[in-house]
Structure 1
Amino acid sequence: MKLLLLLVVLTSYTAIPQNLVNRMFTFPQQTNTAHVRLTTSKQDLRAVTVCLRTFTDIKREQAFFSLATPSIFNDFLIFKKGGGDGFDLYQGQICFEGHEWKLNTWHSVCVTWDAASGLIQLWLDGKPSSRLFITSGSHIHGPIIIVLGQDQDSYGGGFDIKQSFVGMMTDVHMWDHTLSPCEIQRYMDDINFNFGNVLNWESLEFQINGKVLIEEKQSLCY
Protein backbone atom coordinates (compact mmCIF):
# COMPACT_ATOMS: atom_id res chain seq x y z
CA MET A 1 0.00 0.00 0.00
CA LYS A 2 2.84 2.42 0.84
CA LEU A 3 4.45 1.69 -2.54
CA LEU A 4 1.15 2.35 -4.32
CA LEU A 5 0.65 5.67 -2.57
CA LEU A 6 4.22 6.71 -3.35
CA LEU A 7 3.68 5.84 -7.01
CA VAL A 8 0.55 7.97 -7.14
CA VAL A 9 2.35 10.92 -5.54
CA LEU A 10 5.34 10.69 -7.89
CA THR A 11 3.25 10.50 -11.05
CA SER A 12 1.20 13.48 -9.96
CA TYR A 13 4.24 15.69 -10.55
CA THR A 14 6.37 14.11 -13.24
CA ALA A 15 5.97 11.84 -16.24
CA ILE A 16 8.06 8.69 -15.76
CA PRO A 17 7.90 5.80 -18.26
CA GLN A 18 6.55 2.79 -16.39
CA ASN A 19 5.61 -0.78 -17.14
CA LEU A 20 1.90 -1.12 -16.33
CA VAL A 21 1.40 -4.67 -17.61
CA ASN A 22 -1.02 -6.41 -15.21
CA ARG A 23 -1.91 -3.01 -13.71
CA MET A 24 -4.89 -0.72 -14.20
CA PHE A 25 -5.94 2.86 -13.55
CA THR A 26 -8.89 3.16 -11.16
CA PHE A 27 -11.04 6.30 -11.41
CA PRO A 28 -13.11 5.95 -8.21
CA GLN A 29 -15.35 9.04 -8.31
CA GLN A 30 -17.05 11.63 -10.47
CA THR A 31 -14.90 14.71 -10.80
CA ASN A 32 -14.05 17.52 -13.19
CA THR A 33 -10.36 17.39 -12.26
CA ALA A 34 -9.06 13.79 -11.98
CA HIS A 35 -7.43 12.43 -15.15
CA VAL A 36 -4.32 10.77 -16.53
CA ARG A 37 -2.27 12.75 -19.04
CA LEU A 38 -0.22 10.69 -21.48
CA THR A 39 2.95 11.79 -23.26
CA THR A 40 4.20 10.79 -26.71
CA SER A 41 7.04 12.01 -28.91
CA LYS A 42 4.99 11.44 -32.08
CA GLN A 43 3.30 14.69 -33.03
CA ASP A 44 2.19 14.12 -36.63
CA LEU A 45 -0.33 11.33 -37.23
CA ARG A 46 -1.87 10.41 -40.58
CA ALA A 47 -3.44 7.20 -39.28
CA VAL A 48 -4.36 6.04 -35.78
CA THR A 49 -5.42 2.95 -33.89
CA VAL A 50 -6.31 3.29 -30.19
CA CYS A 51 -7.18 0.26 -28.06
CA LEU A 52 -8.11 0.06 -24.38
CA ARG A 53 -10.03 -2.06 -21.92
CA THR A 54 -12.59 -0.50 -19.62
CA PHE A 55 -15.00 -1.43 -16.81
CA THR A 56 -17.72 0.82 -15.42
CA ASP A 57 -21.15 0.78 -13.78
CA ILE A 58 -22.04 4.31 -14.90
CA LYS A 59 -24.96 4.64 -17.35
CA ARG A 60 -24.43 8.28 -18.25
CA GLU A 61 -22.13 9.57 -20.98
CA GLN A 62 -18.40 9.47 -20.24
CA ALA A 63 -15.08 9.99 -21.97
CA PHE A 64 -12.47 7.27 -22.21
CA PHE A 65 -9.78 8.81 -24.43
CA SER A 66 -9.34 12.44 -25.51
CA LEU A 67 -6.65 13.75 -27.85
CA ALA A 68 -6.54 17.51 -28.40
CA THR A 69 -4.44 19.89 -30.46
CA PRO A 70 -4.45 23.69 -30.12
CA SER A 71 -6.76 24.07 -33.13
CA ILE A 72 -9.06 21.06 -32.55
CA PHE A 73 -10.05 20.06 -29.01
CA ASN A 74 -11.73 16.83 -30.13
CA ASP A 75 -9.12 15.77 -32.66
CA PHE A 76 -9.51 12.12 -31.60
CA LEU A 77 -12.07 11.25 -28.93
CA ILE A 78 -13.57 7.95 -27.74
CA PHE A 79 -16.76 8.86 -25.92
CA LYS A 80 -19.48 6.53 -24.58
CA LYS A 81 -22.96 7.95 -24.97
CA GLY A 82 -25.36 7.73 -22.05
CA GLY A 83 -28.26 5.36 -21.57
CA GLY A 84 -27.59 3.00 -24.46
CA ASP A 85 -25.04 1.33 -26.69
CA GLY A 86 -23.84 4.32 -28.72
CA PHE A 87 -20.32 5.70 -29.09
CA ASP A 88 -19.26 9.11 -30.32
CA LEU A 89 -15.95 9.12 -32.17
CA TYR A 90 -14.30 12.28 -33.33
CA GLN A 91 -12.10 13.01 -36.28
CA GLY A 92 -15.08 14.98 -37.25
CA GLN A 93 -18.09 13.95 -35.12
CA ILE A 94 -19.63 10.57 -35.86
CA CYS A 95 -21.79 8.18 -33.86
CA PHE A 96 -21.81 4.38 -33.86
CA GLU A 97 -24.92 2.58 -32.57
CA GLY A 98 -25.97 -1.02 -32.07
CA HIS A 99 -23.02 -2.48 -30.17
CA GLU A 100 -23.77 -4.63 -27.15
CA TRP A 101 -22.65 -2.72 -24.06
CA LYS A 102 -23.09 -4.07 -20.54
CA LEU A 103 -22.38 -2.46 -17.19
CA ASN A 104 -20.02 -4.11 -14.69
CA THR A 105 -18.26 -5.94 -17.51
CA TRP A 106 -14.77 -5.62 -18.96
CA HIS A 107 -14.98 -4.36 -22.55
CA SER A 108 -12.21 -4.11 -25.14
CA VAL A 109 -12.51 -1.06 -27.39
CA CYS A 110 -10.46 -0.29 -30.50
CA VAL A 111 -10.86 2.57 -32.97
CA THR A 112 -9.06 2.90 -36.29
CA TRP A 113 -8.83 5.98 -38.52
CA ASP A 114 -6.89 6.63 -41.71
CA ALA A 115 -6.40 10.08 -43.23
CA ALA A 116 -5.84 8.84 -46.78
CA SER A 117 -9.15 6.97 -47.04
CA GLY A 118 -11.00 9.12 -44.50
CA LEU A 119 -12.49 5.99 -42.92
CA ILE A 120 -13.08 5.40 -39.21
CA GLN A 121 -14.19 2.16 -37.52
CA LEU A 122 -15.08 0.98 -34.02
CA TRP A 123 -14.37 -2.49 -32.68
CA LEU A 124 -16.09 -3.55 -29.44
CA ASP A 125 -15.16 -6.93 -27.93
CA GLY A 126 -14.02 -8.20 -31.31
CA LYS A 127 -17.10 -7.07 -33.22
CA PRO A 128 -16.59 -4.38 -35.89
CA SER A 129 -18.83 -1.49 -36.83
CA SER A 130 -19.40 -0.33 -40.36
CA ARG A 131 -16.48 1.61 -41.84
CA LEU A 132 -17.68 5.20 -42.16
CA PHE A 133 -16.25 8.12 -44.11
CA ILE A 134 -15.39 11.38 -42.35
CA THR A 135 -13.00 13.38 -44.50
CA SER A 136 -9.84 12.54 -46.39
CA GLY A 137 -6.54 14.39 -46.55
CA SER A 138 -6.55 15.74 -42.98
CA HIS A 139 -4.11 14.67 -40.29
CA ILE A 140 -3.39 15.21 -36.60
CA HIS A 141 -0.58 17.67 -36.03
CA GLY A 142 0.73 18.54 -32.55
CA PRO A 143 1.52 19.67 -30.02
CA ILE A 144 -0.72 16.84 -28.80
CA ILE A 145 -2.34 16.50 -25.37
CA ILE A 146 -3.81 13.06 -24.57
CA VAL A 147 -6.07 12.56 -21.55
CA LEU A 148 -7.72 9.47 -20.08
CA GLY A 149 -10.94 9.82 -18.10
CA GLN A 150 -12.06 13.29 -19.23
CA ASP A 151 -13.25 15.06 -22.38
CA GLN A 152 -11.15 18.08 -23.31
CA ASP A 153 -13.51 20.92 -24.19
CA SER A 154 -10.49 23.21 -24.30
CA TYR A 155 -6.85 22.42 -24.99
CA GLY A 156 -5.76 20.45 -21.92
CA GLY A 157 -8.85 21.28 -19.87
CA GLY A 158 -12.50 22.29 -19.94
CA PHE A 159 -13.53 19.09 -18.13
CA ASP A 160 -17.21 18.41 -17.30
CA ILE A 161 -17.99 16.29 -14.23
CA LYS A 162 -21.01 14.82 -16.07
CA GLN A 163 -18.67 13.42 -18.73
CA SER A 164 -15.98 12.08 -16.40
CA PHE A 165 -15.10 8.39 -16.50
CA VAL A 166 -15.73 6.33 -13.36
CA GLY A 167 -14.37 2.79 -13.30
CA MET A 168 -11.21 0.92 -14.27
CA MET A 169 -9.08 1.17 -17.40
CA THR A 170 -6.12 -0.88 -18.59
CA ASP A 171 -4.04 -1.97 -21.61
CA VAL A 172 -4.08 1.42 -23.35
CA HIS A 173 -2.14 1.28 -26.62
CA MET A 174 -1.92 3.60 -29.62
CA TRP A 175 -0.36 3.06 -33.05
CA ASP A 176 0.43 5.44 -35.92
CA HIS A 177 -1.25 3.10 -38.43
CA THR A 178 -4.48 1.14 -38.71
CA LEU A 179 -4.31 -2.38 -37.33
CA SER A 180 -5.63 -5.22 -39.43
CA PRO A 181 -8.70 -7.16 -38.24
CA CYS A 182 -6.43 -10.05 -37.21
CA GLU A 183 -4.18 -7.72 -35.20
CA ILE A 184 -7.22 -6.21 -33.49
CA GLN A 185 -8.52 -9.68 -32.67
CA ARG A 186 -5.18 -10.57 -31.08
CA TYR A 187 -5.45 -7.46 -28.91
CA MET A 188 -9.04 -8.33 -27.97
CA ASP A 189 -7.95 -11.85 -26.99
CA ASP A 190 -4.80 -10.51 -25.27
CA ILE A 191 -2.67 -12.99 -27.21
CA ASN A 192 0.71 -12.10 -28.76
CA PHE A 193 -0.19 -8.65 -30.09
CA ASN A 194 2.39 -5.99 -30.94
CA PHE A 195 2.34 -3.17 -28.39
CA GLY A 196 1.61 0.39 -29.52
CA ASN A 197 4.36 2.54 -31.04
CA VAL A 198 2.72 5.84 -30.00
CA LEU A 199 1.47 4.77 -26.56
CA ASN A 200 2.73 1.54 -25.03
CA TRP A 201 1.24 0.15 -21.80
CA GLU A 202 4.53 -1.65 -21.13
CA SER A 203 6.44 1.66 -21.19
CA LEU A 204 3.91 4.40 -20.56
CA GLU A 205 4.87 7.99 -19.87
CA PHE A 206 2.11 9.69 -17.91
CA GLN A 207 1.06 12.11 -15.18
CA ILE A 208 -1.74 11.43 -12.71
CA ASN A 209 -3.81 14.42 -11.69
CA GLY A 210 -6.30 14.10 -8.85
CA LYS A 211 -7.87 10.94 -7.48
CA VAL A 212 -6.69 8.19 -9.84
CA LEU A 213 -5.09 5.04 -8.44
CA ILE A 214 -2.75 2.45 -9.94
CA GLU A 215 -3.81 -1.04 -8.86
CA GLU A 216 -3.24 -4.64 -9.77
CA LYS A 217 -5.33 -5.62 -12.79
CA GLN A 218 -8.39 -7.59 -11.72
CA SER A 219 -8.88 -10.97 -13.38
CA LEU A 220 -10.83 -14.14 -12.66
CA CYS A 221 -9.15 -16.93 -10.73
CA TYR A 222 -9.52 -20.48 -12.07
Structure 2
Amino acid sequence: MRGNLPVCSQLHTPDKMVKLLVFMMMLASCCAEIKDLSGKAFVFPRETATDHVKLMTPKTSFNALTVCLRFVTDLTRNYGLFSLATPAISNDFVLFKINTNDVIRMHARDGGTDFLALSFPPNTWHTMCSTWNSDDGIAQLWVDGKPTIKRFIRSGQPISGKPSTILGQEQDSYGGGFDASQSFIGMISRLHVWDHVISSNEIQRYEADLNFTPGNVFNWRALDFEIVGNILVEDEVLIE
Protein backbone atom coordinates (compact mmCIF):
# COMPACT_ATOMS: atom_id res chain seq x y z
CA MET A 1 0.00 0.00 0.00
CA ARG A 2 1.52 3.26 -1.15
CA GLY A 3 0.45 5.22 1.89
CA ASN A 4 2.33 2.84 4.18
CA LEU A 5 5.68 2.92 2.39
CA PRO A 6 8.67 3.93 4.55
CA VAL A 7 9.94 7.49 3.99
CA CYS A 8 13.09 6.24 2.23
CA SER A 9 10.94 4.24 -0.22
CA GLN A 10 8.76 7.26 -0.91
CA LEU A 11 11.82 9.37 -1.75
CA HIS A 12 12.89 6.86 -4.40
CA THR A 13 9.67 7.22 -6.40
CA PRO A 14 10.27 9.40 -9.50
CA ASP A 15 8.08 12.33 -8.42
CA LYS A 16 9.67 12.45 -4.98
CA MET A 17 13.17 12.33 -6.42
CA VAL A 18 12.42 15.22 -8.78
CA LYS A 19 11.07 17.30 -5.91
CA LEU A 20 14.13 16.47 -3.79
CA LEU A 21 16.50 17.53 -6.59
CA VAL A 22 14.63 20.80 -7.08
CA PHE A 23 14.79 21.47 -3.34
CA MET A 24 18.55 20.80 -3.26
CA MET A 25 19.11 23.16 -6.21
CA MET A 26 17.09 25.88 -4.47
CA LEU A 27 19.10 25.35 -1.28
CA ALA A 28 22.39 25.61 -3.19
CA SER A 29 21.23 28.83 -4.84
CA CYS A 30 20.33 30.25 -1.44
CA CYS A 31 23.77 29.42 -0.03
CA ALA A 32 25.42 31.16 -2.98
CA GLU A 33 23.53 34.39 -2.36
CA ILE A 34 25.59 37.58 -2.53
CA LYS A 35 26.04 38.94 1.00
CA ASP A 36 26.67 42.31 2.61
CA LEU A 37 29.61 41.72 4.98
CA SER A 38 29.68 45.23 6.45
CA GLY A 39 30.99 44.99 10.00
CA LYS A 40 32.08 41.37 9.46
CA ALA A 41 35.41 39.59 8.95
CA PHE A 42 36.57 36.22 7.67
CA VAL A 43 38.31 34.34 10.49
CA PHE A 44 41.05 31.88 9.45
CA PRO A 45 41.79 29.93 12.65
CA ARG A 46 44.24 27.21 11.59
CA GLU A 47 47.26 26.28 9.48
CA THR A 48 45.96 24.20 6.59
CA ALA A 49 46.49 23.27 2.96
CA THR A 50 42.74 23.25 2.28
CA ASP A 51 40.84 26.10 3.98
CA HIS A 52 40.25 29.20 1.86
CA VAL A 53 37.65 31.70 0.67
CA LYS A 54 36.87 31.64 -3.04
CA LEU A 55 35.59 34.86 -4.62
CA MET A 56 33.39 34.91 -7.73
CA THR A 57 33.13 37.56 -10.44
CA PRO A 58 31.88 37.51 -14.04
CA LYS A 59 34.80 39.71 -15.15
CA THR A 60 37.48 37.96 -17.21
CA SER A 61 39.75 40.82 -18.35
CA PHE A 62 41.72 43.31 -16.27
CA ASN A 63 43.92 46.03 -17.75
CA ALA A 64 44.71 47.17 -14.21
CA LEU A 65 43.84 46.27 -10.62
CA THR A 66 43.47 47.90 -7.24
CA VAL A 67 43.08 45.54 -4.26
CA CYS A 68 42.29 46.95 -0.81
CA LEU A 69 41.76 44.93 2.37
CA ARG A 70 42.19 44.95 6.13
CA PHE A 71 43.85 42.14 8.04
CA VAL A 72 45.25 41.14 11.41
CA THR A 73 47.55 38.24 12.31
CA ASP A 74 50.27 37.19 14.72
CA LEU A 75 52.24 35.22 12.09
CA THR A 76 55.89 35.96 11.42
CA ARG A 77 56.32 33.31 8.67
CA ASN A 78 55.32 33.57 5.00
CA TYR A 79 51.61 33.76 4.21
CA GLY A 80 49.35 34.48 1.25
CA LEU A 81 46.70 37.18 1.53
CA PHE A 82 45.24 37.50 -1.97
CA SER A 83 45.78 35.21 -4.95
CA LEU A 84 44.28 35.63 -8.43
CA ALA A 85 45.12 32.92 -10.96
CA THR A 86 43.95 32.27 -14.50
CA PRO A 87 44.18 28.99 -16.43
CA ALA A 88 47.38 30.22 -18.12
CA ILE A 89 49.16 31.89 -15.15
CA SER A 90 48.93 30.92 -11.48
CA ASN A 91 50.57 34.17 -10.28
CA ASP A 92 48.42 36.60 -12.25
CA PHE A 93 48.00 38.90 -9.24
CA VAL A 94 49.25 37.93 -5.78
CA LEU A 95 49.89 39.65 -2.45
CA PHE A 96 52.28 37.56 -0.37
CA LYS A 97 53.88 38.40 2.98
CA ILE A 98 57.54 37.39 3.27
CA ASN A 99 58.73 35.95 6.59
CA THR A 100 60.04 39.18 8.00
CA ASN A 101 57.94 42.03 9.33
CA ASP A 102 58.76 44.43 6.52
CA VAL A 103 58.32 42.82 3.06
CA ILE A 104 55.28 42.34 0.80
CA ARG A 105 55.83 40.55 -2.51
CA MET A 106 53.44 41.53 -5.30
CA HIS A 107 53.08 39.40 -8.43
CA ALA A 108 51.42 40.51 -11.67
CA ARG A 109 51.33 38.37 -14.81
CA ASP A 110 53.95 36.03 -13.28
CA GLY A 111 56.36 38.89 -12.71
CA GLY A 112 57.07 40.13 -9.21
CA THR A 113 58.65 42.72 -6.98
CA ASP A 114 59.29 43.16 -3.24
CA PHE A 115 58.14 46.23 -1.33
CA LEU A 116 60.60 46.77 1.50
CA ALA A 117 60.88 48.67 4.79
CA LEU A 118 57.22 48.26 5.72
CA SER A 119 55.81 47.76 9.21
CA PHE A 120 53.24 45.14 10.28
CA PRO A 121 53.19 44.89 14.10
CA PRO A 122 51.44 41.62 15.10
CA ASN A 123 47.95 41.50 16.59
CA THR A 124 47.13 44.87 15.03
CA TRP A 125 44.67 45.63 12.25
CA HIS A 126 46.35 46.90 9.07
CA THR A 127 44.88 48.31 5.88
CA MET A 128 46.66 47.64 2.61
CA CYS A 129 45.90 48.80 -0.92
CA SER A 130 47.86 47.57 -3.93
CA THR A 131 47.76 48.95 -7.47
CA TRP A 132 49.12 47.72 -10.80
CA ASN A 133 48.60 49.01 -14.33
CA SER A 134 49.46 46.84 -17.33
CA ASP A 135 49.94 49.90 -19.57
CA ASP A 136 53.16 50.96 -17.84
CA GLY A 137 53.74 48.01 -15.51
CA ILE A 138 53.91 50.26 -12.44
CA ALA A 139 52.84 48.91 -9.04
CA GLN A 140 52.48 50.55 -5.63
CA LEU A 141 51.36 49.72 -2.10
CA TRP A 142 49.59 51.83 0.49
CA VAL A 143 50.01 50.46 4.04
CA ASP A 144 47.97 51.99 6.85
CA GLY A 145 47.40 55.07 4.72
CA LYS A 146 51.03 55.60 3.69
CA PRO A 147 52.24 55.09 0.09
CA THR A 148 55.39 53.19 -0.83
CA ILE A 149 57.67 54.01 -3.73
CA LYS A 150 56.48 52.83 -7.15
CA ARG A 151 58.02 49.70 -8.67
CA PHE A 152 57.89 48.15 -12.14
CA ILE A 153 56.58 44.59 -12.49
CA ARG A 154 55.36 43.82 -16.02
CA SER A 155 53.74 45.89 -18.78
CA GLY A 156 51.77 45.33 -21.96
CA GLN A 157 50.00 42.19 -20.75
CA PRO A 158 46.49 42.65 -19.35
CA ILE A 159 45.13 39.83 -17.19
CA SER A 160 42.86 37.68 -19.32
CA GLY A 161 40.93 34.48 -18.57
CA LYS A 162 38.39 33.27 -16.03
CA PRO A 163 39.92 34.16 -12.65
CA SER A 164 40.27 31.87 -9.67
CA THR A 165 40.48 34.31 -6.77
CA ILE A 166 41.42 33.07 -3.29
CA LEU A 167 41.80 34.64 0.15
CA GLY A 168 44.04 33.03 2.75
CA GLN A 169 46.12 30.83 0.46
CA GLU A 170 48.57 31.22 -2.44
CA GLN A 171 47.77 29.24 -5.60
CA ASP A 172 50.60 27.26 -7.18
CA SER A 173 48.09 25.95 -9.73
CA TYR A 174 44.74 27.21 -10.98
CA GLY A 175 42.36 26.82 -8.03
CA GLY A 176 44.77 24.82 -5.86
CA GLY A 177 48.35 23.86 -5.12
CA PHE A 178 48.10 25.24 -1.58
CA ASP A 179 50.90 24.93 0.99
CA ALA A 180 49.95 24.81 4.68
CA SER A 181 53.18 26.57 5.64
CA GLN A 182 52.03 29.57 3.56
CA SER A 183 48.41 29.66 4.76
CA PHE A 184 47.05 32.75 6.47
CA ILE A 185 45.92 32.64 10.10
CA GLY A 186 44.01 35.66 11.38
CA MET A 187 41.18 37.85 10.10
CA ILE A 188 40.53 39.58 6.78
CA SER A 189 37.84 42.20 6.22
CA ARG A 190 36.67 45.10 4.01
CA LEU A 191 37.96 43.63 0.76
CA HIS A 192 37.34 45.77 -2.33
CA VAL A 193 38.82 45.22 -5.79
CA TRP A 194 38.59 47.56 -8.80
CA ASP A 195 39.53 46.91 -12.44
CA HIS A 196 41.50 50.17 -12.59
CA VAL A 197 43.97 52.13 -10.49
CA ILE A 198 41.95 54.27 -8.10
CA SER A 199 43.15 57.72 -7.08
CA SER A 200 45.18 58.45 -3.95
CA ASN A 201 42.21 60.44 -2.60
CA GLU A 202 39.98 57.40 -3.08
CA ILE A 203 42.53 55.20 -1.26
CA GLN A 204 42.57 57.66 1.64
CA ARG A 205 38.76 57.56 1.76
CA TYR A 206 38.93 53.76 1.85
CA GLU A 207 41.47 53.96 4.68
CA ALA A 208 39.08 56.18 6.63
CA ASP A 209 36.09 53.99 5.63
CA LEU A 210 34.32 57.14 4.52
CA ASN A 211 32.40 57.79 1.28
CA PHE A 212 34.61 55.77 -1.07
CA THR A 213 33.34 54.08 -4.23
CA PRO A 214 33.02 50.31 -3.62
CA GLY A 215 35.02 47.88 -5.75
CA ASN A 216 33.49 46.99 -9.11
CA VAL A 217 35.16 43.54 -9.21
CA PHE A 218 34.72 42.55 -5.56
CA ASN A 219 32.64 44.61 -3.14
CA TRP A 220 32.62 43.77 0.58
CA ARG A 221 29.08 45.14 0.81
CA ALA A 222 27.86 42.74 -1.89
CA LEU A 223 30.30 39.85 -1.98
CA ASP A 224 29.83 36.64 -3.96
CA PHE A 225 31.96 34.05 -2.17
CA GLU A 226 32.30 30.42 -1.15
CA ILE A 227 33.93 29.20 2.07
CA VAL A 228 35.95 26.00 1.82
CA GLY A 229 36.91 24.43 5.13
CA ASN A 230 36.91 25.76 8.69
CA ILE A 231 36.59 29.52 8.14
CA LEU A 232 34.17 31.66 10.13
CA VAL A 233 32.30 34.88 9.42
CA GLU A 234 32.20 36.96 12.61
CA ASP A 235 31.97 40.57 13.75
CA GLU A 236 35.05 42.62 12.90
CA VAL A 237 36.42 42.97 16.42
CA LEU A 238 38.96 45.69 17.09
CA ILE A 239 42.23 44.44 18.61
CA GLU A 240 44.11 46.95 20.71
Query: What TM-score do you get using the length of structure 1 for normalisation?
Result: 0.92
Give the Cα separation in 2 of the matches to 1:20 and 1:84.
Answer: 29
Amino acid at match of 1:59: T
Matched, 1:16 2:37: no
Cross-structure match for 1:155: 174
Shift of 1:216: 0.9
Cross-structure match for 1:215: 234
Closer/same/farther in 2, CA of residues 116 and 71 from structure 1, 3 Å limit = same
1:111-150 alignment, distance < 5 Å: 111-150=130-169
Give the Cα separation in 2 of the matches to 1:90 and 1:15.
Answer: 29
Cross-structure match for 1:76: 93
Q: Structure 1 segments of 4 or more deviating over 4 A?
A: none
> Conserved in 1, the CA contact under 8 Å of 2:113 and 2:152?
no
SS at match of 1:183: helix
Equivalences, count: 211
SS at match of 1:197: coil
Shift of 1:14: 5.0
- Of residues 13, 36, 40 in structure 1, which corresponds to 2:57? 40
SS at match of 1:162: helix
Give the Cα separation in 2 of the matches to 1:68 and 1:216.
Answer: 29
SS at match of 2:218: coil
Cross-structure match for 1:103: 122
Highest RCO, 1 vs 2 (Cα 8 Å, sep ≥ 6):
1
> Conserved in 1, the CA contact under 8 Å of 2:139 and 2:151?
yes
Shift of 1:220: 7.0
Matched, 1:25 2:52: no
Aligned-pair identity in percent equals 47
Shift of 1:134: 1.8
Amino acid at match of 2:53: V
Structure 2: gaps spanning 5 or more residues: 1-26
When Rg is computed on C-alpha atoms for both structures, the one with the higher figure is 2
Which string of whole-angstrom CA distances, capped at 9 and with x for unpartnered residues, describes residues 153-185 of structure 1?
010000000100000000000001101111101
Structure 1: gaps spanning 5 or more residues: 1-9
Matched, 1:204 2:213: no
Shift of 1:219: 3.0
- When the two chains are superposed, the root-mean-square deviation of aligned CA atoms in Å is 1.6
Amino acid at match of 2:132: W
Query: What TM-score do you get using the length of structure 2 for normalisation?
Result: 0.85
> Conserved in 1, the CA contact under 8 Å of 2:59 and 2:162?
no
SS at match of 1:184: helix
